[in-house]
Amino acid sequence: MATVTPGACSSGCCPAPTEIDCIMVDKVYASCSQTVTATQLVNDMSLPSGCIPSGTVSGSLACSLDLSDSTCSVGAVVSSGTDDINNITYTISAVVNLTCSNGVTTAPVTVFTTTTVPLYNPSGTTPVCTILSGSCSAVILPNGQLSVQVTLCLLLQTLATVQLLVPSYGYCAPSPCEVAASAICPPSNLFPPQS
């Protein structure tokens, strides 16, 4: 077994671990966050009648991003010319739901885009992408086209599942659940204050 030093607690404030465990975890080899903005024109969107106020030829639609149906995946991995650094292209499809000014919901619109970032990506690691959050806007242009813009916050990583040797105090024993707080009886303001 390896010698274990408690690190920041080495001054004696922490007891020595009782055992050394080997656990399997996803190790992050590289990680960065990036904001991506994409605009897409939709030419053949059939909008319900009354979608924009009468007498107008353009206007905004309420827009909400559907993160559960939006995806970000690896499209291509190309060597950057530097050892273990690859240019990773991620393909993104963001699904947005639109609501007209009269409250009628249209068919969902999908906005497509890509982003390429250089990441440390040695053999055995896997690039992954997570859409953390985002926002959108939608405008009907005077020519009848629909312009949809999305802004996404992405977490881009390279991961590998590894066996990690860690000092440990054994298994975590759950503590008893706390009893839900009951109402104070009688309440402290049962009677009006005295003068």
Question: Residues 117-147: pLDDT tens digits?
Answer: 999 999 999 999 999 999 999 988 888 788 9
Q: Domain for residue 9, yes or no?
A: no
What pLDDT does residue 1 have?
35
Does residue 144 lie within any of the structural domains?
Answer: yes
In a domain, 192, yes or no: no
Phi, psi of 9 (to 5 degrees): -95, 15
**Single-letter code of the amino acid located at 62:** A
pLDDT at 141: 85
Cα torsion 187, 189, 191, 193 to 10°: value is 160
pLDDT, position 4: 44
Looking at residue 182, what is its pLDDT?
A: 63
Name every residue whose Cβ is closer than 8 Å to that of residue 84 and which is 6 or more positions away in sequence.
120, 121, 122, 123
Structural domain count of the chain = 1
Determine, yes or no, domain membership for 98.
yes
**Residue 174 placed within a domain:** no
Indicate whether 13 belongs to any domain: no
Note if the pTM is more than 0.85.
no
Q: Is the pLDDT of residue 54 over 70?
A: no
117 three-state secondary structure: strand
Pairing of strands 126-140, 146-168: antiparallel
Residue 56, in any domain of the structure? yes
Domain with 81, as residue range(s), is 21-168
Which comes out higher in pLDDT, residue 45 or 110? 110
How many Cα atoms within 13 Å fall on the side-chain side of residue 146?
28
Flag whether 5 is in a domain: no
